[in-house]
Amino acid sequence: MSTTDEPTANAESPDEGPAGAPISPDGAKQKKQKKHLPVWQETILLLGIALVLAILIKALFVQAFYIPSESMEPGLVKNDRILVEKPSYWFGGPERGDVVVFKDPGGWLNGEEAAGPTGTVAKALSKVGLYPTGGHLVKRVIGVAGDVIKCCDEQGRLTVNGQPLDEKDYARLGGADCYGPMVNDCSKDWEVGPIPDGQVFVMGDNRNNSADSSFHMCKPTDTDCTKNPYVDVDDVVGKVFVLLWPSDRFKILHRPDTFADVPDAD
């Protein structure tokens, strides 16, 4: 009698299935192969993912806009494409010197500027952040809550809380004559403030051709004036940080150093 164990009748050999049927090599490969979606389904899935990501990016992080007028020359020219980032204002408001994009407070844009993109495709793409959005304004923040702004000192400079701004590196200050939208409302000397909480005072870098906060102030000669020169912080979309197009003028925008010298409001 042998001591070697004999295989039982029910034992499966490596090449047999559960019932003793042989497994072909092709069958084993088929089991290992993963199922793939048809190309058209993969395409739709990828487009859906891209759309969701675009919407999230636009809502939370970065949005494209274009410059609607000449008011930010010389740095930003009409029809330039810019990128606006939003995280900077998640835990705080705009700072002096920031170039910001904001919703029209009401009547600041003319019909052409307020219209935004034309064409079905452009409008659809702008909704999801894949095409520059219109209907907004681009200006530089000059003052924040509590600030007092005066125009101008003996050298023709704006002052914020008594500190003059050196703006020759980024602003087109022009001469004494006004033109563009300022032609009927130019006032050489003015003062505004303290700026209310939750609001900012903005101006275009092209000072004599910008319908900005200084343009929407009540003048001493106005009666029953209801103008509001301020922009609500909640209407600010974000800070401009890149001039994207045209490519030969691509640049990263920075806050001018002159604003670092402005003291906090009393």
Structure tokens at 89: 């204002």
Spot the catalytic one: 58, 69, 86, 139: 139
CA-CA-CA-CA torsion sign (104, 228, 215, 194) = negative
Q: Is 71 one of the annotated active-site residues of the chain?
A: yes
Pairing of strands 163-164, 159-160: antiparallel
Residue in 71, 210, 213, 214 annotated catalytic: 71
Q: How buried is residue 146: exposed, middle or buried, by Cβ count under 10 Å (0-12/13-18/19+)?
A: middle
CA distance 161 to 166: 14
The DSSP string of 160-204 is ETTEEP--TTTBB---S---GGGTTT--SSEEE-PPPTTEEEEE-
238 three-state secondary structure: strand
| Of 236, 42, 61, 50, nearest in space to 125 by CA | 50
Write b or e for each residue in 106-132: b if 16 or more Cβ atoms lie within 10 A of its Cβ, otherwise e.
Answer: eebbeeebeebbeeeeeeebbebbbbb
Query: What whole-number distance in Å separates Cα of residue 59 and Cα of residue 136?
Result: 16
The helix or strand, by DSSP H or E, that contains position 125, with its residue range, turns out to be helix 120-127
DSSP annotation string for 63-89 = EEEE--SSTTTBTS-TT-EEEEE-GGG
Give the separation between CA 142 and CA 242, rounded to whole angstroms: 20
Is 34 one of the annotated active-site residues of the chain? no
Catalytic positions, please? Answer: 71, 139
